[in-house]
Amino acid sequence: MTNENIISENTQRKEGRDAQRNNILAAKLVAQTIKSTLGPKGMDKMLVDSLGDIIVTNDGVTILREMQIEHPTAKMIVEIAKTQESEVGDGTTTAVIFAGEFLKNAEELLYKKIHPTILVKGFNLAQKKSNQILNEMSFDISINDTDKLINICQTAMTGKGAEFSKEHLSKILVNCVKNIVENDECDIDINAIKFQKKVGGSIEDTQLIDGILLDKNKLLHSMPNKVNEAKILIMSCPLEHKDIEFDAKIQITDPSQIQSFLNQEETIIKNKVDKIISSGANVVFVQKGIDDYAQHLLSENNIFAVRRITKDDIEKLSLATGAKIVNNIDAINNSSLGYANIVEQKKISDHEMIFVSGCKNPKSSTILIRGGTEHVLSEIERALDDSLRDIIVSLKYKKVVCGAGSVEIKLADELKKYANTLSGREQLAVLSYANAIEIIPSILSENAGLDPIDIIADMKSKLYSGLTWPGVNVENGSIIDAKEHGILEPLKVKLQALKSATEVAIMILRTDDVIAANRLKGNESDLSNNF
């Protein structure tokens, strides 16, 4: 009895070298797809979904997430990008390229009859040594290193849609983070920072608001348009009469009883509003509804009111203003109130929005993003998000390294020295791993229209001549000191990229059999066509 006799005829199987070759090919194809997006001179991809919606970006994880990938190994490579995004927020393209190159170099050793377990052992040794080397060559950063933080932002934005306004945007991001950080406590919740997009103006019009911006309007025109020294009440409960939730029958024998019944409802609403007034609040934000009569009473008392605010915005308002979220009218008191210097409804590109600004110790802030089209705004938001995450992860782990390919050249050189201390075939695996790391400066050069072979040779020459951080200047092909030029990246991004890429590469190398139910259509005949 053969294997074919026990497997369904609707099942495909790839064994041994064929399975490894197909898996490695899929990984290389994914890396090949996004490698042109890497670096300051990286190109964008236009993605069009089945509904005709367009995304233009060079963000690795966005590209891979939107692609319709079917091959199982290719999906594993996509997971690298997703993991990188969730863990550190940046370096997704780098992680995928590393994985593709590790497997490409490993394939050459497989053809030389080196067993996969030897490669796995060598890759594990190389990854552990890389962690040690990277930690040793990194340097410290703190919340007080404003210039370094700005440099990190600018490095992250270079090559993206935000590049031409990176100085302006970097200062906004750094100021935003510094505003909400206290006592060098750098464990920052990224959800505390809100990005609000608004079409119109230019990227340079993007601004930081030391509070919250709401895409809402005040309830009545008769309410004040601007409130100075705002005492803010935030409610998660409705300010309206509750509907009866069960069948009820009211027997009325006198027409005056109708009015009495209605008056009773108004009295309940008035009592609720009176509690708000007695608390001293002059601005009210409500997550749910506000009754028409309540709106009238609030307006009569010169109170600025907004309703149907999202739970997310309610929480951000609380963090920004210091107000407690009240879920019961009876719990309202003076201590529940928050503060903002100004609450104002203003026009932004012919659209009314509410600014809550001038908060005393805001734990949440808003960045208002401006740009010519929705596609531009979305790309700017992705660039800002990556940069913000780079700042946060840098401050959390307090270590950075230099970019421009310098860290990869140094790491590869140190790994090759380490490989020479090993005996056996693991040495070849470590050398293969080291050579794969050099792919980053190679692609940076290639995407800039430079000769990668010449650039890599020049970088190594400068390194051996004593230049500490030899990086490539993609503008003219010269070799620069990346640290002097302020090209900085978080250490954690590099560590995570190497870790994720190595783990997936090892998993793929250890796979010598792929058994899959047949879901192919038409004339497609093997797993390699699923990608």
Active site residues: 59, 92-93, 386
CA dist., res. 326 & res. 278, Å (int): 15
Cβ atoms < 10 Å from Cβ of 115: 12
CA dihedral (268, 272, 275, 276) positive or negative: negative
The answer to whether the CB of 35 falls within 8 A of the CB of 440 is no
Residue with tokens 């978080």, as numbered in its chain: 490
CB proximity list for 6: less than 8 A, separation 6 or greater: none
Give the C-alpha separation, 73 to 25, whole Å: 9
360 within 8 A of 257, measured Cβ to Cβ:
no
* Strands (E) located in 61-200: 139-140, 193-199
- Measured distance CA(213)–CA(347) in Å, rounded: 12
Q: Tell me the sheet residues that pair with 48.
A: 54
Question: Given the DSSP bridges, would you call strands 207-209 and 399-402 parallel, antiparallel or unpaired?
Answer: unpaired
Q: How far is CA 344 from the centre of its chain?
A: 30
Instruction: Give the Cα separation of 460 and 470 in Å (integer).
Output: 8
Helices (H), 223-354: 255-279, 292-300, 311-321
